[in-house]
Amino acid sequence: MGNSELWVYDDDTDSAQMVTDLYPGGSSSPWGLIVYGGMLFFGAEDGSGRTLWSYNGVDAPAKVAGASTVQTGYDDDGAVFDGSLYFSGYNTASGFEPWRYDMLAAPSMLADINSAGGSYPWQFFVY
């Protein structure tokens, strides 16, 4: 069984190819894929932790600047609202809490809802 990596499908050629191997020798297990600001954002593992990545469809995916201090959740579904990306993030001080990213500054925790150990937010959605 192969490792889980980010792939792209080309409907013109009816073929798929791996974008890149983010975690050589391991599985990056990309999840929570969401389009924001014309780019694809997702959580993935690269051997140094699960963090937020971006992909513009041309260059290799890259870790979001400042996201090394926050790990994304496993089952979160982010949402775009009012010009920002919202997702479930984790840091050792607060546990899993809602985070916000606006492409201008590093991701930041939106609120420490459960100061006793994390609120575990997931499945963000906007009506």
| Residues 83-109: tens digit of each pLDDT | 999 888 888 888 888 889 999 999 998
Lowest-pLDDT choice from 11-15, 47-51, 89-93, 116-120? 116-120
What is the extent of the structural domain holding 29?
Answer: 6-109
* Cα 56 off chain centre by: 14
Inside any domain, residue 71: yes
Query: Is the residue at 78 inside a domain?
Result: yes
Position 1 scores a pLDDT of 43
Confirm whether 21 is domain-assigned. yes
Q: Note the pLDDT tens digit of each residue in 39-92.
A: 999 989 888 888 899 999 999 999 998 887 777 766 657 889 999 998 888 888
* pLDDT at position 61: 96
Helical (H) or strand (E) element with 7: strand 6-10
pLDDT of residue 58: 93
**Tokens, residue 73:** 């959740």
105 domain residue, yes or no: yes
